[in-house]
Every structure is written in structure tokens, then in C-alpha cells.
Amino acid sequence: MRSVLVRWLASFAPAPVSVRWPERFRSCLGALIGIALTGGTMHLLLGPAANIPLLVAPMGASAVLLFAVPASPLAQPWSIIGGNLVSATVGVACATWIADPVDAAALAIALAICAMFACRCVHPPSGAVALTAVLGGPSIHALGFGFVFEPIMVQSVALLSAAIVFHALTGHRYPHVAGQGASKSGTPANAGNPGFTRADLDLVLARRSEMLDIDPADFESVVNEAQLQAYVRSFGELTCTDIMSRPVASIFATTTAATAADLLSRRAVKALPVADAEGHVIGIVTRADLAGDASAGPLGTLLRAPARWLAGDDGSPPLVGALMTTDVCTVGSATPIAELVPLFANYGHHHIPVIDKDRRLVGMITQADLIAGLYRQTQVQRLHAAA
């Protein structure tokens, strides 16, 4: 009996948090800015003497979702806007039509959850919105259904706007888009496991009869990546040196766009690393970068002329330094290829420069290089097994 009790109490222990400290600090900063801007917006719109709360408590809970777990389906724009408005409406109606506050509060929460499920906008803090409408006191009750618009709608929109801008400035996807590597329903999710499809995943999730706080496409992407990670791990000590393309052509920031485009064409590659005089990578330029001006056509060039003149452009040919991407992901030559999987699968990289211990460019890895390297190693393993 004692051991059962101990195991039961041990189940209360929190799961380890896998979020890195920089991301934790980013979330804290986002919540700070979001709540401050929301309160400031209400102050500017209503003034300090307004009878409407400049901040309602549920916005704090919404901030946790919007900034700490922005990938959650419960933290998406329609969830916060729809959930808060629906719950506020239900809460005001219950407070108006039911005299007993406890009965009104209980019914408001139940109906709010029902309405959020029906409208596909489940947002946990919205339950507190419904409760605030019932138990918020005379000042809240005096607002009537105006509570739905001021403060709830105004504060929800302000907080959501702050989250969208903050995530964009800090390089995060929000609103969250499900993993791009996820397969469509009915197609194999992983070539190594042809029996597993998105349709199978949907059926399994439906059988659980409970809501999971993860987008099904994200879940599928995680499973696929885990399978690929396990597959790559089986190749042991295979490193970037073993699969990278070399020698690799590089260019300088002072190279003209036309020269770079010609080199891309002659080499039949889609990207070129940009290096300084010491061979350190300072950027990368792709065909899409170089096609920007060309795709605009004569009319686009004509329309851009005044802006270039104001910026001091003398009309000389554009240089790579003005077109390249400077935020470049690089890997060391001794990096195990298992570490390449998340770079290609999660972050959308297609070309990754490889550097040596002195941070000089020594090669380039593409998705095709990774696949070719794995294939070659598979053939070697099969030959050894046959021998």
C-alpha cells in the first residue's frame, strides 16, 4: 500500500522542461511587452479616469499561451479572439439573467466551454473571462454587454497584435503554421514506414476521445523526424566531412549580381556562400535573391528608380553584398550528420556551408548531399553484412 502511495505521489513530479534558456527569456520579455502595450493601449483609448479596467486578469493567462507556447492550437489568433468574445458574451448573459452568482458562474463556465468547442476556438483563459463577467463586481456589471467590446475585445486585439509583431521581430512563426514536412492525408508519412499515413494518425487521435494540445500536423512531423533521427543515428560516426560537396565555389560581397548569377548557372547550383578575404563565411546568396531585380521587369525597375536615387544609388550594377542573406547557418566539418536533421527538417535550410576549426569555408551540404551520403553508407553496410 505504501509503495502504491509513493508511486502515486511521484506522478505529481513535473516533467522536465526542454525549452532552452534563451527561449524562456524571450517568452518572458514578450509577455512583459505584450501586457504593457495592452494596458497602454487601454489607457490611451479610455484615459485614466475610465470606469473600465485597463487590464483584466485573463489577459495574463492569454499572455502565457501567446508568448510561452505560441505553437499550441490553444494560442492561435482565432482561439484568443473567438474564445474571449464568446465567453464574455456567455458570461454577461448568465450574470444578467441568473440572480445567484454561484449558479451564474457555474453555468457560464459550462456554456463557454460548449460554445468554444462549437466555434473551434478553445482558449483556456477565456473561462476566466466568463467568470470575470459574472464575479467582476458592480463596475463590470454596469458595462452590460459592452464588457464584450471594452475591455475584452480591445485588450484581446491589442495583446494579439503585440504577439504577432514580437514573434515576427524575434524570428518565430506566429500565427503557427503546421510543419511543412507533414504529409497529406492518405500518403505515407515516412518512406521507411509505408504503413503509417496521416489518415492512420487521425484515426488514432480520434480514438483517444480527448483534446491534445498539439496540432496533428506538428505531431506527424515530430514522429517523422524521430524516425529519420533514429535512421541517421544508425550510421554512427558519419560526419559532414564525409558527405559535403567540395571544393565549393564562393564569391565576395563585392561581386556583381550578374557575375554571381552566371556562376550559379555554370556550376548548376542554387546557392553560393559569400566569404571575406580570409575565407570566413559572411553570407549566402541564392538564385531567388539574384532574380529579385530581374523579375520586376522594366516597369519595376522604372518604379524603383526614384527610391534608388534618394538612397544614393548611382545606377551601377547591384552587388552581392546588397542581396545576400547575412544570417547564415553553418556547421563544423566534424559535426555528426545526425545534427543536420533538425536543420533541414525544422528550419527550412536547403544549403548549409561547412567550416573548419578556423571557421573557414571548406564545403557545402544540401539535402541531396545528405540523402546521397546516407544511401552510400547503406550500400556499404549491406556489403559488410553480406560478407
Question: Residue 287's closest CA among 303, 300, 271?
Answer: 271
| Domain identity same for 42 and 147 | yes
Question: What average pLDDT does this structure show over 157-168?
Answer: 95
Boundary of a domain, candidates 109, 141, 169: 169
Question: Does 202 fall in a domain?
Answer: no
Question: Does 102 fall in a domain?
Answer: yes
* Contact by Cβ (8 Å): 56, 155: yes
| Domain identity same for 148 and 252 | no
What is the C-alpha to C-alpha distance for residues 274 and 284, in angstroms, rounded to an integer?
5
Read off the pLDDT band of 377 (50, 70, 90). confident
In degrees and rounded to multiples of 5, residue 215 shows phi and psi of -65, 135
Question: Does 324 fall in a domain?
Answer: yes
CATH code of the domain containing 291: 3.10.580.10
| Domain identity same for 71 and 150 | yes
Question: Does 183 fall in a domain?
Answer: no
Read off the pLDDT band of 224 (50, 70, 90). confident
Question: Residue 371's closest CA among 341, 339, 333?
Answer: 341
How many Cα atoms are found within 13 Å in the side-chain-facing hemisphere of 138?
Answer: 0
Boundary of a domain, candidates 140, 169, 198: 169
* pLDDT above 80 (res 382): no
User: Which domain does 67 fall in, by range?
Assistant: 21-169
Boundary of a domain, candidates 169, 185, 211: 169
| Domain identity same for 159 and 249 | no
What is the C-alpha to C-alpha distance for residues 95 and 107, in angstroms, rounded to an integer?
10
Q: Where are the alpha helices (H) located in 234-281, listed in sequence order?
A: 240-243, 257-267
Task: Quick: pLDDT tens for 172-201.
Answer: 889 986 544 444 444 444 444 445 677 777
| Domain identity same for 157 and 292 | no
* pLDDT above 90 (res 111): yes
| Domain identity same for 156 and 270 | no
How many Cα atoms are found within 13 Å in the side-chain-facing hemisphere of 209?
Answer: 0
| Domain identity same for 164 and 249 | no
Predicted TM-score of the model (pTM):
0.61
What is the C-alpha to C-alpha distance for residues 81 and 84, in angstroms, rounded to an integer?
5
Q: Annotate 46-98 with DSSP letters as a single string.
A: H-TT-SS-SS-THHHHHHHHHHH-TTSGGGSHHHHHHHHHHHHHHHHHHHHH-
Q: In this predicted structure, which of 158-162, 234-238, 240-244, 330-334 has the lowest mean pLDDT? A: 234-238
Give the pLDDT of residue 306. Answer: 57
Question: Does 256 fall in a domain?
Answer: yes
**Across all residues in the chain, what is the average pLDDT?**
82
* pLDDT above 50 (res 332): yes
Question: Does 156 fall in a domain?
Answer: yes
Question: Does 179 fall in a domain?
Answer: no
Residue 71 CA to chain centroid, in angstroms?
Answer: 6
For 329, the 3-state DSSP assignment is coil
Cell triple for 54: 485597463
Question: What average pLDDT does this structure show over 201-211?
Answer: 72
Residue 153 CA to chain centroid, in angstroms?
Answer: 25
Count structural domains, the chain. 2
Question: Does 123 fall in a domain?
Answer: yes
In degrees and rounded to multiples of 5, residue 319 shows phi and psi of -105, 155
